[in-house]
Amino acid sequence: MRGRGFAMMFLLLAIAFCSCGGSDITLMEDVNISSWREDIAIAFHNEEADAVYDLDIVLHVNSNYSTRSQQMILAATSPDSLSMSEVITIETPIIRKAPKASAKDIVIPYRRGVRMAQRGTYHYTLRPSTPLSGVESAGIIFKPQNR
């Protein structure tokens, strides 16, 4: 009897812990590691009307990446075909030279409190304004805001 009560309490705590807010969603695409210059396409399916997210850009880089400041072109299209694009400047930390096999994720804050008013798929494209080397993949992190 005592074990059953402990198990029930553990189950309730686990349910409460798992239901507190959503987890981050990271969507990335591989790029040409020697010279990234093409658009990457990110499709994010929003399942909740009026959902609010924080968005970060993420670059998976290796020891050949040495850029401190880079302009990127980001475009977004909502499920009802409303489109926008902007040029953003990202600042990245200096990556210390490391063995060739090592890689690192650089997360750059992009926008906070982005309201996605509609259910459906939001399409994003991202590309550097000038070619980049040392980037293995790039993408966007969608962090749901707690309500």
Average pLDDT over residues 76-104: 83
Q: What is the mean pLDDT of the chain?
A: 84
Residue percentage of the chain with pLDDT more than 90: 66
pLDDT band at 20 (very low <50, low <70, confident <90, very high): very low
63 vs 78, which has greater pLDDT? 78
pLDDT band at 4 (very low <50, low <70, confident <90, very high): low
Question: Which among 44, 55, 132 is positioned nearest to 92, based on CA atoms?
Answer: 132
Global pTM?
0.80
Q: What count of other Cβ atoms lies within 10 Å of the Cβ of residue 100?
A: 9
b/e burial code for range 108-121 (CB count within 10 A of at least 16 → b): bebeeebebeeeee
Q: According to the model, what pLDDT value does residue 131 have?
A: 93
Is residue 43 classed exposed, middle or buried when 0-12, 13-18 and 19+ CB atoms within 10 A define those classes?
exposed
147 vs 49, which has greater pLDDT? 49
Question: Which among 91, 24, 11, 99 is positioned nearest to 54, based on CA atoms?
Answer: 24
